Amino acid sequence: MIRPILRRVGAGVLVLWAAATAAYLALLAAPGDTVDAIIGDGADTPLIRAQIIQEWHLDRPAVVQYADFLWRAVHGDLGRSYLLQRPVAEVIGGQLAPTLKLAATAAGFGILLALVLALVARRPWVRRLSSTTELVLVSTPPFLIGIVLLSVFSFRLGWFPVSGDRGAAALVLPAITMGLPIAGTLAQVLRDGLDRALEEPFAVTARSRGLRERSVLVRHALKHALLPAVTMLGWSFGVLIGGTVIIEQVFGRPGLGQVTVQAVSSSDLPVVLAVVILAAAVFVVINTVTDLAYLLIDPRLRRS
């Protein structure tokens, strides 16, 4: 089991290196002077130009600049924000917790709701109702769901805050907004997996031993249906991280969405590059955890 784990970790490190390299080369390949590309439409003063040249070591050969960039990135030094005049790691670190909290809560809600929909909707009429609901959830843009929830539960009923991150109540509507489409997708995948698993010989054997259908469903079929669901969940969590950019704007929440929009609009490239690298890191972590979950769910994969 150690070998596949090491192989997956090695692939993750390679992806991180490729993302960091692509981000750095994109900066160097920008038309015009590199200093002008970094400044963009921001303030342009001799002091800022000297700071950029010193920080990015633009007076050194390109290979040395690249090696220095990688060395600083490995050690967590992502430069300084030219808009906020603070270290990029500090800017992103201060907004990372609200985004991860929102994404994790939405994922938890989506998983729980998907399990309920997949396990409960076994009768034909319940199945049709659940399938229709899931189709609506998957087809509706999350920002539209958020606007409807805000209109009903915040503006009209006043049950939840309209914006901000003040307590658990402010987390409910954004988490539901992001979790509903995930639940719709996961429930469909889980139900299809359960249907196939219940037709396998092990399910017939379990029934012949006197196990009730509910026990066969939960104790045996569910485990076999988890592999495709875990794959979809890994993809969904990555989508959740990206979706927070929009949802945080809809609900006026702090987080990476606010930072990213502000950095892009002000051409604060050090922050933008850091967000790209962070997104790649999240992608690597999610895929590595997903691959390790495969090994835990299906022991046969450990021999590969």
- Structural domains in the chain? 97-301 (1.10.3720.10)
Neighbours of 166 (CB within 10 A): 9
Which of 83, 94, 102 lies closest to 262 in space, CA to CA? Answer: 83
Rounded to two decimals, the pTM is 0.70
Are 164 and 253 in contact by the 8 Å Cβ rule? The answer is yes
Residue by residue, pLDDT tens for the chain (304 residues) are 567 667 777 777 888 888 778 877 776 665 556 677 566 666 677 887 787 777 767 777 777 877 887 887 787 777 777 667 778 888 887 788 888 888 888 888 888 888 887 777 667 777 777 778 777 777 778 888 888 888 888 888 888 887 777 778 888 888 888 888 888 888 877 877 777 776 667 666 766 676 676 666 666 667 666 766 777 777 777 677 767 778 888 888 888 877 877 777 766 777 877 887 887 787 777 777 776 766 666 655 555 5
Q: Tokens for 191?
A: 């139900």
**φ/ψ of residue 87, rounded to 5:** -55, 140
Q: Tokens for 173?
A: 């509507």
DSSP three-state, residue 59 = coil
* Residues 68-123 pLDDT 10s: 878 877 877 777 776 677 788 888 877 888 888 888 888 888 888 888 877 776 67
DSSP per-residue string spanning 61-113: -HHHHHHHHHHHHHTT---B-TTT-SBHHHHHHHHHHHHHHHHHHHHHHHHHH
Residues 289-296: contacts with CB within 8 Å, 24+ apart?
289/234, 290/230, 290/231, 290/233, 290/234, 291/4, 291/8, 292/5, 292/8, 293/230, 294/227, 294/230, 295/1, 295/4, 295/5
CA count, 13 A, side-chain hemisphere, 211? 17
DSSP three-state, residue 285 = helix
